[in-house]
Amino acid sequence: MASSDPIKKVCLVGANGTVGSVITRKLLEVGCFHVSVLRRSSSSSASPTGVTEISVSPALELQELTEALSGQDAVVAAIPLRDVSEHLRLVEAAFNARVRRYIPADYGSCDAASPQAQHHLKLYRDKTAVRVRCEQLAQKADEDPTGAGPFTWTSIICGHFFDYGLASGLLHFNLDTETAQILDAGDIKASASTLGRVGESVVRVLQRHEATRNRAVYVQSFCPTQLEILASLERATGHKWHAQYLDSNAFLERQSQRLEAGDAEAIEEIVFVLGTVDADWTRKGGYAMDLLGLEDENLDQVIRDVVATHKAKAQD
């Protein structure tokens, strides 16, 4: 198969997760992919309708993964990066199975390659380790005169999962109490993406696989400040919200101390800060909205939808 041939067979790892379920739906909606999902034999979750199941043992051993991924054009990882060795085995297996495109579980909040992100969280050091291994294997594939493998990769960096983070309170806008915690002056722009935009981006990368080979692409739904989000929430709810202003450096230091003391919940707080103060993708060389044929979504409409869904759930 030539490298320019369309990608048709796609295997998703993590199809039932927060982002994986949306990616699966978007892949199925376009109707041009044969979608498989890699499923641990110990999992009790049902696979989505319309996909082919590939069952593997819970340990995700390299040889078994290689056999399971054989014949796939692309592999999309959407499982949380809790065990970096698991993700590294997935990359190796994709390479060994002659998969043409691997999309690692980079996605949300901030750029894992950022020195600030790597300093504060092992999560981003691990994401970077996976990306580096992708780069190494892609270079190996390019340099092999025997054509041993067609392996390429694309990392998709999308900022905070906006609709999910807003509804869950992870972005520090509380829909129940109509209160907000604003970092510094609240005037820092940060790229963020709805879960739907993440799924669309995966589809576009696979459809434009030649233009997106061996690189990171930065995408967004919009790039607002916290004050712009707050103003939109006030329009959507018809109420004035109460805002508390926090120094981002002091907040980050407190959460880092919590994490050092063994409080794992501090990780989400650190992610919140990093994805708010260091995530303006419009300034990135890899900003890929035009490349992928994507346009910004309407911030007010997305927020109205989140608020309406929240109200409906509260009334149930």
CB 155 within 8 A of CB 216: yes
Mean pLDDT of 37-53: 89
Residues 183 and 250: their CA atoms lie apart, in Å, by: 10
Distance of CA 151 to the CA centre of its chain: 21
- As a whole-number percent, the residues of the chain with pLDDT over 70 amount to 97
Task: Give pLDDT, residue 124.
Answer: 95
pLDDT digits (tens, 9 = 90+) for 267-303: 999 999 999 999 999 999 999 999 999 999 999 999 9
Which of these, 252, 226, 219, lies nearest to 111 by C-alpha position?
Answer: 219
Residues 219 and 217: their CA atoms lie apart, in Å, by: 7
CA-to-CA dists, residue 17 to 57, 91, 234, 243, angstroms: 19, 19, 31, 32
Task: Name all domains of the chain by residue range, CATH numbers in brackets.
Answer: 9-157+194-218 (3.40.50.720), 161-191+222-283+295-314 (3.90.25.10)
> What one-character-per-residue DSSP string does 136-155 give?
HHHHHHHH-TT-----EEEE
Strand partners, 88: none
Which of these, 32, 42, 43, 39, lies nearest to 15 by C-alpha position?
Answer: 39
Which of these, 163, 131, 282, lies nearest to 220 by C-alpha position?
Answer: 282
pTM, two decimals, is 0.95
CA-to-CA dists, residue 289 to 47, 94, 101, 162, 215, angstroms: 31, 27, 20, 17, 14
**Residue 26, pLDDT above cutoff 60:** yes
